C-alpha cells in the first residue's frame, strides 16, 4: 500500500484509524493533505480552487539524463506532419530508415519515456500524444527515435512547471471525446478524451482534467465516423469505473455528458442514423446499451470547443502555445504557488504525504478535485460527530 486518502467525520475517529495502522505498519500522516503520489497539493479554500504541481520533477529528470537546457525554447513536444496546401491527397510521414540504437541507447529511450509518462499522467497531459507515438517505437528504437526523445526533453525543459487547477463543482463527471483519422503509422487512428468534474448543466463548464485519454486505436478504422465511435467507446469504458467510484463516495451521478463533434457518430449512438455498420457493430451497440441504462448522454458541439481534440494528434508550436493555457495554469501564477508551498511546514525527505478528504485515485497520477470545505461543513453540520476534515495517512 502506498499513499492513500480518507474522508472522515470527527478527528478522534481518524486518530483511532491512524493508531491502529501504526501498530502494524510504519506510516506517517499529513493532516493538511499537501502531498499525494509525488504531487504537491495547494488548497485555496477562499477562492474554492486547488492546484496540483510537481515543481522539482522535470529539473531532476533533466539532471538524471544529463540533458542541457535548449538554447532555443522548444514549444513542440513532437514534430507534426506539415500539410501540403492545394494537394489532392495528404500523405503520412515516411517510414523511419535510420540506424537502430544499441542496447544502451534503447534503455535510455525507454527510461525517458517511463519517467516522463508518469509526469504527463499526473500534471502535464500535453506530452501524452508524443509519449504515445514514442512508445510505439521503443521496442526497436532508431537514431531518429533518440532525436525525437531529445526534442521532448527540450519541450519539458522549456515548460518545466505544469500546474493543473481544479475548481469546486457538484462533482458530476463529464467528458469530451474526439478522434483523428489515419493520423498514426500503419493506417491507424488515435482516440482522445478529456474528463473533468463539473455541474449538472446541459453543456458542462470545463475544469481541470482528472483523466486524459490519448490512445492509438488498434484496429484500422474504415471512416472518420467509425474512428469517432471508436473513441466514444474507449472513453465511455474508462468512465464506467469513475462513475462507480463517485457514487460510492456519495456523489450520485446523472447520465454522464459526453461531447462529440461528429454528427454521424452522434446519430449512430443515439439511434437516429441506421446503417449497416458491421465493422463497428459491437462498439455502437455497447454505447446504445449504456445510453438506455442512463449512464451516458451524448451531445454535439463544434470541434473548436472539444478539448479532447488536442491529444489526438501532433500540432505545430503555435497551436501548443495557444492551447496549453486551456489545460494548465499559466506560468504567471507560478511564483504565487511557490510562495504558498514554501510557507508550508517542510516534510522529511522520502516521506509520501497524502490528502485524505476529496481525493479519488482513478489511475496512476490522476485524481478528482475536492469539494470546498464550507460545502462539506454545511452538509455535515448536524452530524453528531461534527464536520469532515482533511487528513493524511501513509
> How many contiguous H segments (helices) and E segments (strands) does the chain have?
11, 13
* Residue that has been written with the C-alpha cell 455498420 in this structure: 277
Written as nine digits, the cell of 359 is 481525493
Residue 15 exposed, middle or buried by CB count within 10 Å (0-12, 13-18, 19+): middle
Mean pLDDT of 9-21: 89
Which is nearest to 9 in space by CA: 393, 392, 389?
389
CATH number of the 167-309 domain: 3.30.420.10
165-194 b/e with 16+ CB inside 10 Å = b?
A: bbbbbebbbbbbbbbbbbbbeeebbbbbbb
Is 193 in contact with 363 (CB distance < 8 Å)?
Answer: no
The residues near 13 (Cβ < 8 Å, ≥ 6 apart) are 385
d(CA 212, CA 309): 11
More confident residue, 277 or 350: 277
Rg (CA), the chain: 22
Q: Would the pLDDT of 279 be above 80?
A: no
Is 232 in contact with 270 (CB distance < 8 Å)?
Answer: no
The residues near 246 (Cβ < 8 Å, ≥ 6 apart) are 171, 173, 253, 360, 368
Q: Would the pLDDT of 141 be above 90?
A: yes
Mean pLDDT of 238-265: 93
> What was the pLDDT predicted at 333?
60
Q: Would the pLDDT of 73 be above 80?
A: yes
More confident residue, 379 or 36: 36
User: Picking from 65-74, 136-145, 204-213, 358-367, which range would have the lowest pLDDT averaged per residue?
Assistant: 358-367
| Pairing verdict, β 172-184 and 256-260 | parallel
pLDDT band (50, 70, 90) for residue 33: confident
pTM of the model: 0.80
Is 181 in contact with 217 (CB distance < 8 Å)?
Answer: no
Written as nine digits, the cell of 104 is 544502451
Q: Would the pLDDT of 353 be above 50?
A: no
More confident residue, 94 or 178: 178
CA distances to 10, 17, 26, 138, 362 from 23, in Å: 21, 10, 8, 45, 29
Q: How many CB atoms lie within 10 A of CB 278?
A: 7
Mean pLDDT of 303-327: 92
The residues near 384 (Cβ < 8 Å, ≥ 6 apart) are none
High-pLDDT (> 70) share of the chain, %: 79
> What was the pLDDT predicted at 373?
34
The CA angle 142-147-149, to the nearest 5 degrees, is 95
Domain boundaries, the chain: 4-53+344-393, 57-84+96-160, 167-309
pLDDT band (50, 70, 90) for residue 92: low
d(CA 112, CA 236): 30
Q: Is 214 helix (H, G, I), strand (E, B) or coil?
A: strand
| Pairing verdict, β 188-198 and 163-167 | unpaired
> What was the pLDDT predicted at 166?
94
Residue 270 exposed, middle or buried by CB count within 10 Å (0-12, 13-18, 19+): middle
Backbone torsions φ then ψ of 47, nearest 5 degrees: -95, 0
Q: Is 344 helix (H, G, I), strand (E, B) or coil?
A: coil
Written as nine digits, the cell of 18 is 491512524
Helices 143-158 & 128-135 angle (0-180, nearest 10) = 160
pLDDT tens by residue, 297-307: 999 998 888 99
Average pLDDT over all residues of the chain = 81
d(CA 374, CA 33): 17
Amino acid at each position: 500500500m502506498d499513499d492513500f486518502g480518507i474522508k472522515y467525520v470527527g478527528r478522534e475517529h481518524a486518530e483511532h484509524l491512524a493508531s491502529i495502522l501504526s501498530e502494524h505498519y510504519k506510516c506517517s500522516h499529513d493532516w493538511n493533505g499537501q502531498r499525494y503520489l509525488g504531487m504537491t497539493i495547494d488548497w485555496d479554500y477562499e477562492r474554492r480552487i486547488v492546484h496540483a504541481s510537481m515543481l522539482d520533477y522535470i529539473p531532476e529528470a533533466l539532471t538524471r539524463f544529463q540533458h542541457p537546457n535548449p538554447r532555443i525554447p522548444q514549444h513542440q513536444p513532437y514534430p507534426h506532419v506539415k500539410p501540403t496546401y492545394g494537394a489532392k491527397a495528404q500523405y503520412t510521414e515516411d517510414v523511419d530508415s535510420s540506424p537502430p540504437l544499441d542496447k544502451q541507447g534503447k534503455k535510455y529511450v525507454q527510461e525517458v519515456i517511463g519517467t516522463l509518462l508518469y509526469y504527463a499522467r499526473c500534471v502535464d497531459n500535453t506530452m501524452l500524444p508524443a509519449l504515445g507515438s514514442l512508445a510505439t517505437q521503443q521496442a526497436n528504437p532508431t537514431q531518429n527515435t533518440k532525436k525525437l526523445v531529445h526534442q521532448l526533453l527540450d519541450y519539458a525543459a522549456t515548460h518545466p512547471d505544469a500546474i493543473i487547477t481544479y475548481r469546486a463543482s457538484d462533482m458530476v463527471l463529464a467528458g469530451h471525446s474526439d478522434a483523428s483519422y489515419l493520423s498514426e503509422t500503419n493506417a491507424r487512428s488515435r482516440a482522445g478524451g478529456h474528463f473533468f468534474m463539473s455541474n449538472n448543466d446541459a453543456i458542462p463548464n470545463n475544469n481541470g482534467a482528472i483523466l486524459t485519454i490519448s490512445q492509438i486505436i488498434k484496429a484500422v478504422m474504415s471512416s472518420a465516423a467509425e474512428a469517432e465511435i471508436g473513441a466514444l467507446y474507449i472513453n465511455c469504458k474508462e468512465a464506467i469505473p469513475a462513475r462507480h467510484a463517485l457514487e460510492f463516495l456519495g456523489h450520485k451521478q446523472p447520465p454522464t455528458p459526453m461531447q462529440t463533434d461528429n454528427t454521424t457518430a452522434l446519430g449512430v449512438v443515439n439511434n437516429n442514423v441506421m446503417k449497416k455498420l458491421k465493422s463497428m457493430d459491437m462498439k455502437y451497440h455497447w454505447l446504445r446499451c449504456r445510453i438506455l441504462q442512463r449512464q451516458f448522454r451524448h451531445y454535439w458541439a463544434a470541434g473548436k470547443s472539444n478539448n479532447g481534440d488536442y491529444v489526438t494528434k501532433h500540432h505545430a508550436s503555435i497551436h501548443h502555445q495557444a492551447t496549453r493555457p486551456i489545460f494548465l495554469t499559466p506560468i504567471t501564477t507560478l511564483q504565487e504557488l511557490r510562495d504558498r508551498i514554501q510557507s508550508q511546514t517542510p516534510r522529511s525527505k522520502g516521506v509520501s504525504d497524502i490528502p485524505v478528504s476529496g481525493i479519488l485515485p482513478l489511475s496512476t497520477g490522476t485524481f478528482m478535485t475536492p469539494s470546498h470545505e464550507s460545502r462539506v461543513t454545511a452538509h455535515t453540520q448536524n452530524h453528531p460527530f461534527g464536520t469532515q476534515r482533511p487528513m493524511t495517512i501513509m
